[in-house]
């Protein structure tokens, strides 16, 4: 299912466009909806009856997996690191979908997942596990599809994207875009703005996913091509996952363009993109920002106190 690309406006001296993954038409969208969809094709083809997945208590992946299981009449268990949080809209949606939730400390994740799978098998279920972030060949493939949509847009409109920016966490989405670029020979630069990891670890993860995808296809990229194509920028990660305050960027982008971003992923990456362009004196280019957001985190991060967020024009009346 294709998501639209629209022209946003001029920012940091460049023409910025947005690939609206937040409109991916399932459960308020986001990159995780695109990534989870092909896993459910495997679940159906393999006759599994329960989807198990893993994420934080605010996980977009858990939300969409729970919803995809529910609409198919499958059971779902979401293993989440952290503690129950009634403020998490994604978690509330997981529960609305009827999924079971198992909480564990992050260090106990692997053990909790394998215990959960074992307990389900004991009850004669056939569980299918979707890894955190949707990482794997299937997840990467979903974003090869996203790259193909971007390429088709460039062909159709003649807009040449010199840069494609996106928030990068596990690197699943980025690896798919990079594979798409390598397979098509496109010349745009794909820049993953780290939302958590430091450069070396983040880049290695993207490269591993790229390698895994090519291996699964029985293909090899040209010598050094994958290494050259993976740009993983950690200068704007705010000191780690969930750290840093991007509410100003989120509020400004919403007020100016009515595009919803969040504080954890897309707001951080949008801010990082503008800094990256400014610091490298990149100007006059057409630049695509992939809004990986699911909409719930936008609402969750929306300030409750209206005085905090630029209500000055009305107060002046
Ligand atoms: C998971 C997620 C990301 C990170 O994507 P990866 O494929 O893990 O790199 C970015 N943005 C949003 C909104 C996400 O939910």
Q: Which tens digits make up the pLDDT trace of 79-127?
A: 999 999 999 999 999 999 999 999 999 999 999 999 999 999 999 999 9
pLDDT, residue 315, reads: 56
Q: Dump pLDDT digits (tens) for 251-263.
A: 999 999 999 999 9
Q: Dump pLDDT digits (tens) for 294-316.
A: 899 999 988 776 655 555 555 55
CB distance 8 to 18 below 8 Å: yes
The residue-averaged pLDDT of 196-223 equals 97
Would you say residue 30 has pLDDT above 90?
yes
- Give ligand 1 pocket residues (Cβ under 6 A): 30-32, 60, 133, 167-174, 265-266, 292-294
Atom of ligand 1 minimally distant from the CA of 59: 15
pLDDT, residue 140, reads: 98
**Tokens at 202, concatenated:** 């983040």
- Burial (Cβ within 10 Å: 0-12, 13-18, ≥19) of residue 38: middle
Ligand 1: residue whose CA is nearest its atom 1: 133
For 117, the 3-state DSSP assignment is helix
DSSP tally for the chain: helices H, then strands E: 12, 10
Q: Dump pLDDT digits (tens) for 33-78.
A: 999 999 999 999 999 999 999 999 999 999 999 999 999 999 999 9
DSSP letter at 72 equals T
pLDDT, residue 255, reads: 96
- Burial (Cβ within 10 Å: 0-12, 13-18, ≥19) of residue 263: buried
Candidate from 195, 241, 273 with most ligand 1 atoms within 8 A of CB, to mutate: 195
To the nearest whole number, what is the mean pLDDT of the chain? 96
Q: Dump pLDDT digits (tens) for 142-164.
A: 999 999 999 999 999 999 999 99
């Amino acid at each position: 299912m294709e998501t639209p690309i629209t022209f946003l406006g001029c920012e940091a001296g460049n023409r910025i466009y947005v690939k609206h993954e937040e409109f991916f038409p399932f459960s308020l969208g986001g990159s995780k909806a695109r990534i989870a969809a092909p896993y459910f094709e495997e679940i159906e083809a393999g006759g599994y009856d329960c989807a198990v997945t893993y994420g934080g208590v605010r996980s977009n992946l858990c939300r969409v997996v729970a919803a995809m299981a529910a609409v198919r009449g499958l059971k779902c268990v979401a293993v989440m690191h952290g503690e129950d949080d009634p403020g998490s809209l994604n978690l509330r949606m997981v529960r609305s979908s009827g999924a079971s939730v198992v909480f564990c400390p992050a260090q106990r994740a692997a053990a909790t997942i394998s215990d959960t799978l074992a307990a389900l098998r004991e009850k004669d279920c056939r569980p299918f596990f979707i890894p955190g972030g949707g990482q794997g060949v299937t997840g990467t493939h979903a974003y090869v599809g996203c790259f193909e949509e971007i390429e088709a847009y460039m062909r159709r409109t003649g807009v040449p994207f010199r840069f494609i920016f996106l928030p990068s966490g596990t690197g699943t989405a980025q690896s798919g875009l990079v594979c798409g670029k390598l397979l098509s020979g496109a010349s745009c630069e794909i820049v993953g703005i780290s939302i958590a990891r430091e450069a070396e670890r983040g880049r290695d993860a993207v490269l591993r996913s790229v390698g895994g995808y090519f291996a699964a296809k029985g293909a090899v990229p040209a010598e050094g091509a994958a290494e050259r194509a993976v740009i993983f920028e950690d200068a704007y990660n705010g000191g780690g996952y969930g750290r840093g305050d991007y509410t100003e960027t989120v509020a400004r982008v919403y007020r100016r363009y009515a595009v919803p971003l969040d504080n954890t992923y897309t707001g951080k990456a949008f801010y990082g993109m503008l800094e990256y362009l400014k610091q490298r004196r990149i100007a006059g280019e057409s630049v695509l920002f992939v809004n990986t957001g699911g909409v719930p985190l936008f609402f969750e991060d929306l300030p409750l106190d209206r005085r905090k967020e630029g209500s000055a024009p009305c107060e002046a009346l």
